[in-house]
Amino acid sequence: MADQLSSTFAALADPTRRAILSRLSMGEAPVNELAQPFRMSLPAVSKHLKVLERAGLIARGREAQWRPCRLEASPLKDVADWAEHYRHFWEESFDRLDDYLRELKGSALKTRDLKNREKKHGAKQRKQ
Amino acid sequence: MADQLSSTFAALADPTRRAILSRLSMGEAPVNELAQPFRMSLPAVSKHLKVLERAGLIARGREAQWRPCRLEASPLKDVADWAEHYRHFWEESFDRLDDYLRELKGSALKTRDLKNREKKHGAKQRKQ
């Protein structure tokens, strides 16, 4: 059996399933309502819902006919916590990009100043 | 082709691959060093590395023999950002649990006070 975090990540590795969670973040909904925007058959949506349910990302009502789905967000806390460990790595890489861009801008300004100075110098020489 | 976020989530849906990222967060390493703690064959580890590389989570050196792997954390920022949207849902559910536990504690204290009072009252009556 897969560990909880692996099941969560596997369930999230599909844009339809993430869209279903996004829809459920606006309130619970029955299966047919969830199926509509995806133009999917009910069995296809039910399959996605089963994956989400097994991962503990949704819960479903007990009524046999109308089993509304609702979001269960606590596994997403584990995802956020896990990713958070790597924050300083991505911040570091953005910082490096930032430094690089600043350097690039600096040398572009220097080149411009140099050219301006040369232009002025040329103009002075022509005046004399 | 899967979208970037789906590839990232799929790559993370495996404890060995997450352990490899965790190891690489301590510094770059060659494949044989990454294989050691998992008692895995080199081809098995290489397969995992390919999944991580395709998802942009690692990059590999160019040297044919010794191709050190290093962590590329920027896709993890997208994971954290995505999960962050659901923060108030998990905080809400923890708040609800908190309220429930507080309620439970409150009623347990009330029951204890009531029992203590009854005991004292009983003791008084026995004394009289």
Pairwise CB contact (< 8 Å): B83 & A71: no
| Alpha carbons A31 and A69: distance in angstroms, whole number | 7
**Averaged over B69-89, what is the pLDDT?**
95
CB contacts of A2 in chain B (<8 Å) are 13
| Alpha carbons A15 and A122: distance in angstroms, whole number | 62
pLDDT at position A18 over 70 = yes
The pTM score is 0.75
CB contacts of A80 in chain B (<8 Å) are 80, 83-84, 87
pLDDT at position A22 over 90 = yes
R_g (Cα) of chain B, nearest Å: 28
CB B55 within 8 A of CB B11: yes
| Alpha carbons B43 and A83: distance in angstroms, whole number | 27
What is the pairing mode between strands A58-60 and B69-71? Answer: unpaired
Q: Which of B16, B81, B89 to probe by mutation at the A interface, max A CB count within 10 Å? A: B89
pLDDT value at residue A89: 92
Predicted-assembly ipTM surpassing the 0.90 threshold: no
Q: How far is B122 from chain A (nearest CA, A)?
A: 48
Residues in chain B: 128
pLDDT value at residue A78: 96
Which amino acid is present at A112?
R
pLDDT tens-digit readout, A77-89 = 999 999 999 999 9
| Alpha carbons A11 and A72: distance in angstroms, whole number | 13
- Residue ranges of E strands in B46-89: 58-60, 69-71
Pairwise CB contact (< 8 Å): A15 & B6: yes
CB B10 within 8 A of CB B52: no
Judged by DSSP in three states, B98 sits in: helix
pLDDT tens-digit readout, B42-76 = 899 999 999 999 999 999 987 766 789 999 999 99
The winner for highest mean pLDDT among A26-35, A105-114, B45-54 is B45-54
pLDDT tens-digit readout, B90-101 = 888 767 777 777
Pairwise CB contact (< 8 Å): A86 & B73: yes
Angle among Cα B18, A87, A12 to the nearest 5 degrees reads 50
Place of tokens 């606006």: A26
Please, which pLDDT band fits residue B1 given cuts at 50, 70 and 90? low
CB B114 within 8 A of CB B107: no
